[in-house]
């Protein structure tokens, strides 16, 4: 179990990784928009890594993209903002999380906020531009915010598993 972390360290643990994810995501999205929009996909390592510009109205794999605009606003902007705000409150109230766990949680927070920013300022759409895979086994098209969410969740889960095993 982690010892209590000072409010100063919590602020650093929560807002630093979050800010880095938001910054990297927004910068890479701007680059993708300038270099990839309206162009053919760019293939690296044959077709293992593909850069292809898309604007996604839905969630993962465009789920919910065909919903009405009011429903999309509620599901993809309002609800995530409530969840993300609640997560920040939880992070500052919970005393059992380690500094590392706060940082991992912050990666999720940064990814979520950056995608919500896109939806607010880009007409309900999120810019996606990366795809990886081998032949027909491929991921959906994603962005840096999605990587922050996935890596943050994975690292957080591993830290809880490790903590449980060590007592």
Radius of gyration of the chain (CA): 17
For the record, the structure tokens of 100 come out as 């590392």
- Residues 6+ positions from 26 with CB-CB distance below 8 Å: 114, 117
Catalytic site residue from 25, 47, 118, 146: 146
C-alpha 112/C-alpha 80 separation (Å) is 7
Active site residue 146: yes
**Token output for 110:** 């940064």
Is 25 among the catalytic positions? no
The two three-digit tokens of residue 5, written as one number: 């972390």
Structure tokens given for 67: 């919903």
Active site residues: 128, 146
């Amino acid at each position: 179990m982690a010892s209590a972390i000072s409010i100063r360290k919590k602020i650093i643990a929560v807002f630093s990784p979050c800010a880095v994810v938001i910054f990297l995501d927004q910068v890479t999205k701007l680059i993708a928009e300038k270099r990839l929009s309206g162009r053919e996909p760019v293939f690296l390592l044959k077709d293992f890594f593909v850069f292809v510009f898309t604007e996604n109205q839905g969630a993962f794999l465009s789920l919910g993209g065909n919903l009405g605009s009011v429903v999309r606003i509620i599901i993809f902007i309002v609800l995530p903002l409530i969840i993300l705000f609640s997560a920040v409150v939880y992070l500052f109230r919970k005393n059992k999380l380690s500094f590392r766990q706060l940082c991992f949680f912050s990666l999720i927070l940064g990814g979520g906020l950056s995608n919500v920013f896109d939806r607010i300022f880009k007409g309900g759409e999120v810019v996606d531009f990366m795809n990886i895979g081998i032949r027909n086994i491929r991921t959906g098209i994603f962005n840096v915010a999605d990587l922050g969410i996935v890596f943050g969740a994975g690292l957080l889960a591993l830290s809880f598993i490790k903590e449980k095993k060590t007592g």
